Structure 1
Amino acid sequence: MALRESESRRAEIVRQARSTGLAGVEDLAVQFGVTPSTIRRDLGHLTSRGLIARTYGGAIAIDTTHESSLRQRSVEGFDAKRAIAAWAAQQVQPGETVLVDAGTTVGAMGVHLRDCRDVTVVAAGLTILEALVESPETRIECLGGTLRPLTQGFVGPLAEATLSRLTVDRAFLGADAVDAQYGICEAELIQTRLKEAMMDRAEHVYVLAHAAKLGKRPFHAWAPLPPGTTLVTDASATAELTDPFEAAGVTVVKVPHRESATDRDTAAVVGGSR
């Protein structure tokens, strides 16, 4: 009986989050007549299943059949992204040339890369450029090309031509989703073609994706993961989500993070309507 009540409550939480875009822990606890800790466990369970995504400073409903904007993505899994970005930046060694993709998680590396000495950053989007533009210790190269407003990243023939003249020690890539069988998922083929070129020009490849992006297939454009790729995700990623990647020869790093009270107490639906 308790299991049935728990399943019913969680289903209703998802339904409400889909319709309103926001579910507060205290309000839900009163509504269902349970403790806030029970609701937090519900939210943790639903997050691990990819049914909701916790946010920082609020919540947003995400439609997985349409590409969300950079602003919308910036509030998804804030603390997880911040921890992933910090870990990724720590891998950069003095004297290296690294490529940083467009996106919110990889863009969050900027604040940490400011402290790196004798590093060249090849920027694939505006976010990392803005973060490093006033960093005197960083040499910046820009891919150029066509700017995609939704992602604020550069794509197209000019970006690909620039990549063909470069090699990098490390490439840090973002993704709309990541699947162990198919690789990196993006909204358009022009994006996955560029990501394949990025991976081809790098000695070490890292894909930065928090747990809510693992095992999802929201679009139909794919970039296969080369052998030796490292998937960097957060500690909430379950073995069910990460085991397929390890079986495919991908190294999985789970970065722990401490959630803020706001991030812990709000939720947004993955697959809900805008």
Structure 2
Amino acid sequence: MQRRAEILKLIKENGFKRVSELKDIFQVSEVTIRSDLRMLQEEGKIERNYGGAMMKEELETPSFSETSMLLSEPKAAIAQAAVELIQPGDSLFLDGSSTTLLLAKLARNIENITIISNSIPIFEQLKEITTATLIGIPGSLNPRTQTFVGPYAEKMINDLRATKTFISPKGVLLEGLRDITMVEADIRKRMMDSGNEVIVLADHSKFNNNRTLIPIDSFDAVHTIITDQRPDEAFMSIFAEKNIRVIVADTHDD
């Protein structure tokens, strides 16, 4: 059908299109558009999500084990720089990333901290610790990232507060932080809103990663960015304007 081909073309060009937008473009009912999207999803071409649809390949999130193997040295250096910002008595939001898992391993020896996370691997790492308080965020399991997401997880984060939030988004663009899926972006946004100090952990591959379509937030709430290579001047200018501290982790042994 011609209309479905045109819808698919629009989604491919824009990354994501809402049902309401498609209804206005094609001058048909929402019921008709939803039917078209259902057919395209059944053909394996798109994924319907949050009142619209996006290309299926954009939703292919790397598994946790896959991301854990990538850029291990820079991530370890970033985690080492991050743990130096944690003080005894701090409460921490940690998102479900391989970099925050490394951070959790390093933070286990800091006394009297509280770790709040939706990550199964983080709690597997810390489950026997006796010097920290662990708070697990419940929700629907995302099997690829091994994290709990969804409305229940978001509500719990909204109800909590922490002295520091550590997140590792999938992309850092000039307009702000980005992710691959809406559910993970929503969790990270809630953690940013509920933390007194927001610290972004982003290796050099995250900068200008244009495959990350979903916005998390602008840089307005960010206090510190820890990376392994100095960002280019376009980013540094924005960070200076917003008074964001940039820490470049040392990736070389002495």
Length-normalised TM-score, structure 2: 0.71
Cα gap change, 1:76 to 1:89, in 2 (>3 Å): same
Corresponding residue for 1:95?
Answer: 89
The partner residue of 1:133 within 116, 127, 131 is 127
CA deviations on 1:160-193 (whole Å, 9 max, x unpaired) are 1111221000000011111131x22212112212
Cα 1:127–1:241, aligned 2, differ >3 Å: closer, same or farther? farther
Aligned length: 195
Q: Percent identity?
A: 24
Secondary structure of 1:175 counterpart: coil
1:69 and 2:63 matched: yes
Q: Distance in 2 between matches of 1:132 and 1:146?
A: 21
Q: For 2:214, give the aligned amino acid.
A: A
Segments of structure 2 that go 5 or more residues without pairing to the other structure are 1-56
CA contact (8 A) 1:146 1:154 kept: yes
**Letter of the 1:96 counterpart:** D
Aligned residue type for 1:79: E
Tell whether 2:99 aligns with 1:119.
Answer: no
Given residue 102 of structure 1, which amino acid in structure 2 is its aligned partner?
Answer: G
- Residue 246 of structure 1 aligns to which amino acid in structure 2? F
Q: Measure the CA separation in 1 of the matches of 2:128 and 2:158.
A: 27
Q: Deviations over 1:210-235 (max 9, x none)?
A: 0111121213211113344311101x
Q: What is residue 109 of structure 1 aligned with on the other side?
A: 103
Distance in 2 between the 1:142 and 1:151 partners? 15
Going by fraction, where is strand more abundant, 1 or 2?
Answer: 2
- Compute the displacement of 1:72 (Å): 1.3
2:204 counterpart of 1:211: yes
Q: 2:220 aligns to what SS in structure 1?
A: coil
Deviation at 1:64, TM superposition (A): 7.8
State how far apart, in whole Å, the 1-side matches of 2:241 and 2:213 are: 20
The equivalent of 1:246 in structure 2 is 239
In the TM superposition, residue 244 of structure 1 has moved relative to its aligned partner by: 4.7
Q: Distance in 2 between matches of 1:159 and 1:197?
A: 9
Aligned mates of 2:214, 2:232 — CA distance in 1 = 26
Amino acid at match of 1:197: R
**2:68, 2:178 → 1: CA distance?**
18
Q: Kindly report which structure 2 residues correspond to 1:112-191, keeping only aligned pairs within 5 A, or say none.
A: 112-181=106-175, 183-191=176-184
Alpha-carbon contact 2:88-2:113 (below 8 Å) kept? yes
**d(CA) in 2 for partners of 1:73, 1:173:** 15
Q: How many angstroms does 1:198 deviate by?
A: 0.8
Query: Residue type of the partner of 2:126?
Result: L
For residues 104-156 of structure 1, the C-alpha deviation after alignment (integer angstroms, 9 at most, x for no partner) is: 01111122111110011001211211111111111100111111111112211
**Which consecutive unaligned segments of at least 5 residues does structure 1 have?**
1-62, 260-274
Shift of 1:240: 4.2
1:245 to partner: Cα distance:
4.2
- TM-score (norm: length of structure 1): 0.66
Inter-CA distance 201–149: structure 2 relative to 1 (3 Å threshold): same
The one-letter code matched in structure 2 to 1:78 is S
> Within 5 Å, which residues of 2 pair with 1:9-48?
none
One-letter amino acid matched to 1:127 = P
Q: Contact conserved, 1:180 with 1:248, CA < 8 A, in 2? A: no
Amino acid aligned to 2:193 = D
Equivalent pair of 2:198/2:221 in contact (CA under 8 Å): no
Go from structure 1 to structure 2 and tell me whether the alpha carbon gap of 1:127 and 1:91 turns closer, same or farther (over 3 Å shift).
same
Matches within 5 A, 1:193-208: 193-208=186-201
Query: Residues 65 and 198 of structure 1: is their aligned pair in 2 closer, same or farther, counting only changes over 3 Å?
Result: closer
Partner SS, residue 92 of structure 1: coil
> What letter matches 2:163 in structure 1?
D
Distance, in Å, in 1 between the alignment partners of 2:58 and 2:154 is: 27
C-alpha RMSD of matched pairs (Å): 2.0
Name which of 76, 93, 96 aligns with 1:82. 76
